[in-house]
Amino acid sequence: GENVEQHPSTLSVQEGDSAVIKCTYSDSASNYFPWYKQELGKRPQLIIDIRSNVGEKKDQRIAVTLNKTAKHFSLHITETQPEDSAVYFCAASNYAGNMLTFGGGTRLMVKP
């Protein structure tokens, strides 16, 4: 089955700096890669996703890049703000209705 690894497990940045979180996956059949933000005590919320026919996607301060050959994808957050502090999860799926396999999570702390 699919295996998703996520790094780093914790990340501390100064407000205004950029943050990058990286994930690798094992199953070449995976073609859908979402990123979720989970605040304390809340459900995971989808913040951005990318499909395997696209190399990069951007939504305001958030961008995701995908390298299918290397089987890795990354989340980039620019101009970080304290409200970006949360746990971020990457995931992978073959998007045919199959389940998501999650990475281990990254706790992002943005210091004001």
Return residues touching other proteins (CB under 8 A): 32, 34, 42-44, 46, 49, 89, 91, 93, 95-105
Closest C-alpha to 21, from 35, 41, 3, 2? 35
**DSSP code of 81?**
-
Helix (H) or strand (E) holding 11: strand 10-14
Return the structure tokens found at 85: 């502090």
**In the complex, least distance from residue 40 CB atom to other proteins, rounded to whole angstroms:** 11
**In the complex, least distance from residue 16 CB atom to other proteins, rounded to whole angstroms:** 28
Residue matched to tokens 């045919």: 96
Which residue, 13 or 102, has its beta carbon nearer to other proteins?
A: 102
Which residue, 70 or 96, has its beta carbon nearer to other proteins?
A: 96
**In the complex, least distance from residue 91 CB atom to other proteins, rounded to whole angstroms:** 8
Which residue, 19 or 50, has its beta carbon nearer to other proteins?
A: 50
C-alpha to C-alpha distance for 26 and 2, rounded to whole angstroms: 6
**In the complex, least distance from residue 17 CB atom to other proteins, rounded to whole angstroms:** 25
C-alpha to C-alpha distance for 40 and 26, rounded to whole angstroms: 29
